[in-house]
Structure 1
Amino acid sequence: MGHLNNSRYIDYIINAREDHLDQYYNLKLSDFIAAGYCWVVTNHEIYYIKPSLYNEKVKIQTSVIEVDNSSLLVEGLMMSEDESQFKSLLWTKYFYVNVKTGKRENHAPEQMDFFNSLKNEHLSNYKESRNRLKTILDLQKR
């Protein structure tokens, strides 16, 4: 149908988040894996708002919504390059795990401080992704 395959939206947003961590915070996920820890996806909630056409350039904005001892909730928002159209909303829940055991681990205190400093307090007011989606759709109408 000439638009980006649905599964690619998730790939684009997760890859953008990894790029954002490296570019803006000098955090490389490969360094965590080498140290024996990583974050694994436990679930996605995704809404496809407008199609992204094949080879269309898009902007992706990511934000930390919630942080707790062993998990992160991250929002990814895909929009047109000029930000005039919202394309997709993705909420992803990650658990912090020990690579060797595969078991959930707690974030170190300095990680908690760091992630809490990144937390988008405005987005933390949304308790459900569908409420966030409603706000986005209302903005589109303007």
Structure 2
Amino acid sequence: MSVPYATFETEMSVRPDDIDFHGHVHASKYQDYLLAARFDQMERCYHMSMTDFHERGLSWFVKTSHFDYHRGLRLGERMVVATRVAEIHRRGVRVAFEILRLPDRKTAVSGWCDYLLIRLDSGMPVSLPGDIEKAYSA
């Protein structure tokens, strides 16, 4: 489906343990920022927390992730992680994201992740239930 989906933002700060040998955020930390933002946005914006999924015996599995690094973030800088559902598929979603440095909102990292909805008991992918597809289509 290619329709415009809402973009949601979560603001956060670079922490001392995020910094690598070069004095900027280590590449792996951007995955942590994205995960933290998605957890926040699932509950706050979609009104479906990860706990809600777990109570239904479901979870999200990262099938593919793609990160383009544009500029490094440094200790003490603030950022906003902006995400949106880019595509909805039968068994998952593609989430596009940008991590923007504040206050100038220059792109530090952009990319996308494909998530599969899986059953917790088997790890097997399942079709998106109608209420989940509806919530993510907003």
TM-score range, shorter chain: 0.7 to 0.9
* Higher strand proportion: 2
The match for 2:53 is 32
C-alpha contact (below 8 Å) 2:46/2:135 kept by paired residues: no
For the residues of structure 2 that align with 1:2 and 1:27, how far apart are their CA atoms?
37
Alpha-carbon RMSD across the aligned residues, in angstroms, is: 1.2
Percent identity between the aligned chains? 21
C-alpha displacement at 1:20, in angstroms?
Answer: 1.4
- Residues 94/9 of structure 1: CA separation in 2 closer, same or farther (3 Å cut): same
- Aligned pairs for 1:74-93 within 5 A: 74-93=95-114
Consecutive unaligned residues in structure 1, runs of 5 or more: 118-142
Question: Which of 1 and 2 has higher RCO (CA within 8 Å, sep 6+)?
Answer: 2
- Aligned pairs for 1:1-80 within 5 A: 1-80=22-101
For the residues of structure 2 that align with 1:107 and 1:9, how far apart are their CA atoms?
27
Deviations 1:33-79 (A, max 9, x none): 12200110011010000101123111111100000111100012101
Deviations 1:78-133 (A, max 9, x none): 0111243110012000000010011110011222222222xxxxxxxxxxxxxxxx
- The alignment partner of 1:3 has SS state of coil
- Residues 50/34 of structure 1: CA separation in 2 closer, same or farther (3 Å cut): same
- AA aligned to 1:30 is T
C-alpha contact (below 8 Å) 1:50/1:87 kept by paired residues: yes
C-alpha contact (below 8 Å) 1:96/1:106 kept by paired residues: yes
C-alpha contact (below 8 Å) 2:83/2:96 kept by paired residues: yes
- Residues 25/36 of structure 1: CA separation in 2 closer, same or farther (3 Å cut): same
- AA aligned to 1:14 is L
Give aligned pairs, total.
Answer: 117
- The alignment partner of 1:65 has SS state of strand
Superposition TM-score, scaled by structure 1 size: 0.77
- Residues 48/10 of structure 1: CA separation in 2 closer, same or farther (3 Å cut): same
For the residues of structure 2 that align with 1:45 and 1:108, how far apart are their CA atoms?
26
